[in-house]
Every structure is written in structure tokens, then in C-alpha cells.
Amino acid sequence: MNKAEDITELLGLWRGGETEALDRLIPLVYRELHRIANRYLRSERRGHTLQATELLHEAYLRLADQKRIEWRNRAHFYGVAATLIRNILVDYARNHKAAKRGGGDCRLLLDEAVGIPERQDLDLVALDDALAKLGEYSAELCRIVELRFFGGLTIEETAQVLNVSDSTVKRQWILAKTWIFRELSN
């Protein structure tokens, strides 16, 4: 049995109520979750006080509380984890901005997400607001952005999580990037 099958099996056991399955799952997914956390933090503002390990541990606590999710596979797990990490960072950014009364914007690189060659720094809170608006327009487009940009999933993995074709994800990924770019340009 390979690592992906082990993860999927442990997710099934955890979903079935075996709490010790989560303890066996974490060592298998820790490195990838740490990579996702580092990816987010690399683009943060200078002087950011949240560290990748701290971010990962907060995500672990939130993952451990997920009792009602029907875990489908490894890609689905990483997609949910990436969304939780994003939410933690947005909460952190909102709290930081509130504490500074609007100062200290939290920055995130979105060059990959909008498909433009030059780097474009964006406020994480503004990106979250744009994703919320995109979610009102299309929950599926919003989920694709979360899985692809924040979760680092491939087109194929995203299609698997959403149970759609690869070509559908490719088409909707282009539409979502365009929509977000337009929203953030306003």
C-alpha cells in the first residue's frame, strides 16, 4: 500500500470514529501541511510574527474538530487543510489590521493565481473579500481557487476532489483567475 492509500484508509477510519487514526495520519501528512503553511507565509508582510509550525498546529487543532466531513481521499484532505490555513491567516490579518486601525496590510503574492507574468502583491484580506464575492457568484469557482492556489492541488487532484472532469477544472480555473484579477483591480 502506498502513502496516498494509507492516508485515504486512515481518513476513512477517522471518519468512522477511530480517533487514534488521526494520530497515525498526522505523521504521514505533516510534511505536506508544513509545505502549504510555508508557502503561505513566504508571501506575508515583513515582521509577520506567525511561524509555519504555529500555523500548522492551529490548523491541526481545527482539523481535529472536523467531525462531520466525509473525507474522500488525500487530495480532499489537503484541500480542506489548505482552506483552514487560509482562514487562520485571514483571521490573523483581520485582527492585526484591527489592532493597528487599518495599518500593517498582510500581503500575498497572487501572480500564479491571476496568470500574469509580473509579481503582484495583494492584501490577504482583500483577496479573501474577493473570494467571498466569487463564492456568491459561483461556489465552485471559489472552491477551485482555494484548492489550486491555496491548497497547491493540481488540475487533476482538484477535479478528483470536486468530482468533475479535468477539462472542467481547467476552464473554470481560467474564469476564476480572470474574475479575481478584475475584482482586485477595482
Residue 105 clears pLDDT 70, i.e. is over it: no
Three-class SS of residue 129?
helix
CB 58 within 8 A of CB 47: no
The beta strand positions in the chain, using DSSP E, are: 107-109, 121-123
Average pLDDT over the chain, rounded to an integer: 77
Q: Given this model, what pLDDT does residue 111 score?
A: 43
Q: Which pLDDT value is given to residue 110?
A: 45
**pLDDT of amino acid 113:** 42
> What gap in Å lies between CA 96 and CA 104, rounded to an integer?
7
Highest mean pLDDT among 14-23, 98-107, 108-117: 14-23
Arithmetic mean of pLDDT, 159-179: 89
Do the Cβ atoms of 26 and 60 come closer than 8 Å? yes
More confident residue, 101 or 141: 141
CB 160 within 8 A of CB 75: yes
Closest CA to 150 of 105, 102, 109: 109
At 44, the pLDDT band (50, 70, 90 cuts) reads low
Kindly tell me if the per-residue pLDDT of 47 is higher than 70.
no
Please give the average per-residue pLDDT across 65-78, as a whole number.
80
pLDDT score recorded for residue 115: 44
Q: Which of 82-86, 125-129, 168-172 has the highest mean pLDDT?
A: 168-172
Residue 153's φ and ψ, nearest 5 degrees, are -75, 150
Angle at 166 between CA 161 and CA 156, to 5 degrees: 55
Residue range 109-159, pLDDT digits in tens: 444 444 433 334 557 778 888 888 988 988 898 889 888 877 778 899 888
For 154, left (φ over 0), alpha (ψ -120 to 50), or beta? beta
Of 15, 148, 134, the C-alpha closest to 75 is 148
- For residue 156, the one-letter residue type is E
Number of continuous H segments (helices) and E segments (strands) in the chain: 9, 2
- pLDDT over 70 percentage in the chain: 80
